Amino acid sequence: MDALEGVRVLDIATVIAGPWGAGILADFGAEVIKVEMPGRGDSFRAMGPLKDGVSIRWPSMGRNKKSITLDFHYEEGKKLFLELVSKSDVIIENFRTGTLEKWGLGMDVLRKANPDIIVTHVTGYGQTGPYAHLAGLGTPLQAFSGMTYMTGYPDRPPVSPPFALADYIAGLNAVIGTMMALYHRDSMKGKPQEVDVSLYEGIFRMEEAMIAQYDLFGTVRERSPMPSGASCPIGTFETKDSRYAIIVCSTNPVFEHLCDAMQRPDWLPKYAKAKDRLADPKPIMDAVTAWVASMTYDELKKCCDKSGVPVSSIYSMKDIFEDPQYAARNDIVEVPCEEFGSVKMPAVFPVLSETPGKIKWAGPKLGSYNNEIYGNLLGKTEEELAALQKNGII
């Protein structure tokens, strides 16, 4: 049995955040019906990188989902959608706030079709507030969250992450919110809920230290390539063989382990406490920089591992593909797909001991499940399906 067997989700979202969250539910056995516009489908299908004009990201984003086509702009399309709603548990959508209402598919209409439906909204700014109706995409919302301001070097422009971090974090929060709403409805016999996820608040929720800093000290956290003011030593250090290693002593015991690795017992007890190290970080940082520079990365890694000091080189994707830890955990899996024969993608995560998730198929062709969903689930005849297709409704 799959963890989410019996849960049916309508994924009417587009691009990344909402669909990725729906994909996690699909990984663990929910029946996720991906509802797409006839003829063009989700915009993500055309997003690069491309191989022979086909997105290499779609097989992973669309995995385990059942693609159907449906145009909400037609009254008959809305009627079909509400039939699907009546047989589903969850809707995940990420249209601009108010769009469903504009289409005549507001919460009152959805609740009439299915009083138990859970609706998870994923938008740029959330369902309320003066910005609620504005368009929102991940990279601008990362800037809005305060994260971009703090990222990079102080003498250079701020830096955005190299992938859509805000979208993926929002997707995770969509999963968390959806699962809590399902638990509350089904196990606690509570009312079905709406889940309100914005792109910026998932990142903002992580900025606890910076919020308290500004509140209590009036201090604005400025750009730094590493977290500052919390740990020492902390940073990126270059080894003798020109590799970069990250070392962070975020607790006092870890610093003691570093003293052991560096054979610097003289640092104790003078620097035993974090407040003492942070009061005078330069001598420690200079010494660690010189120590790391005196060794190859392999020598450093061996020394740190022996003493219990967390360390890692900065991995490229090539490093990840070649690393035995990734291999042992089966973190990269090869999945057959029609477009490329097969493609590698991240494995299912998290790992459950009793009901592990699985990848049953790669992202399907647009509308490839029309017959199954409309025919088997909704009971439409072949003649009805042919008419719906002819009229551009599916």
Residue 307: CB atoms within 10 Å: 16
Nearest to 61 by CA among 200, 163, 177: 163
Tally the C-alpha atoms within 13 A of residue 366's C-alpha that lie toward its C-beta: 15
Q: Could you read off the pLDDT of 367-392 as tens digits, one per residue?
A: 999 999 999 999 999 999 999 999 99
- C-alpha 61/C-alpha 297 separation (Å) is 36
Confidence of residue 229 (pLDDT cuts 50, 70, 90): low
- Residue 226 clears pLDDT 80, i.e. is over it: no
pLDDT computed for residue 197 by the predictor:
98
Q: What secondary structure, in 3-state letters, does 140-159 show? A: HHHHHHCCHHHECCCCCCCC
Distance of CA 42 to the CA centre of its chain: 18
10 Å CB burial of residue 306 (0-12, 13-18, 19+) is exposed
Confidence of residue 231 (pLDDT cuts 50, 70, 90): confident
Kindly report, as residue ranges, where domains of CATH 3.40.50.10540 are found in the chain. Answer: 8-205+329-390
- C-alpha 386/C-alpha 225 separation (Å) is 58
- Among the ranges given (3-17, 31-45, 92-106, 217-231), the one the predictor scored with the smallest mean pLDDT: 217-231
Phi-psi sector, 14: left (phi>0), alpha (psi -120 to 50), beta: beta
Nearest to 335 by CA among 68, 110, 61: 61
Q: Which numeric CATH code is attached to 8-205+329-390? A: 3.40.50.10540
Q: How far is CA 104 from CA 72, 96, 294, in A?
A: 9, 14, 68
Phi-psi sector, 229: left (phi>0), alpha (psi -120 to 50), beta: left
pLDDT computed for residue 204 by the predictor:
98
pLDDT > 70 fraction of the chain, expressed in percent and rounded: 99
pLDDT computed for residue 215 by the predictor:
97
Sign (positive/negative) of CA torsion 142, 148, 152, 155? positive
Give the contacts of 210 (CB within 8 A, at least 6 positions apart): 146, 150, 221
pLDDT computed for residue 230 by the predictor:
75
- C-alpha 389/C-alpha 394 separation (Å) is 5
**Contact indicator for 27, 64 with CB cutoff of 8 Å:** yes
pLDDT computed for residue 337 by the predictor:
95
- C-alpha 124/C-alpha 121 separation (Å) is 10
Query: What's the average model confidence in pLDDT over 343-367?
Result: 97
- Residue 228 clears pLDDT 70, i.e. is over it: no
User: Per the structure block, which two tokens stand in for 349?
Assistant: 């995560």
Q: Could you read off the pLDDT of 77-104 as tens digits, one per residue?
A: 999 999 999 999 999 999 999 999 999 9
SS3 assignment, position 265? helix
- C-alpha 225/C-alpha 244 separation (Å) is 13
Residue 160: CB atoms within 10 Å: 18
User: Per the structure block, which two tokens stand in for 275?
Assistant: 């407040």
- Residue 363 clears pLDDT 80, i.e. is over it: yes
* Entry pTM: 0.94
**Contact indicator for 335, 343 with CB cutoff of 8 Å:** yes
**Contact indicator for 374, 76 with CB cutoff of 8 Å:** no
Q: Which numeric CATH code is attached to 234-313? A: 3.30.1540.10
Query: What's the average model confidence in pLDDT over 138-149?
Result: 95
Sign (positive/negative) of CA torsion 175, 181, 182, 183? positive
- C-alpha 218/C-alpha 216 separation (Å) is 6
Scored b (16 or more CB within 10 A) or e, 122-156 reads bbbbbeeeebbeeebebbbbbbbbbbbbbbbeeee
Residues serving a catalytic function are: 167
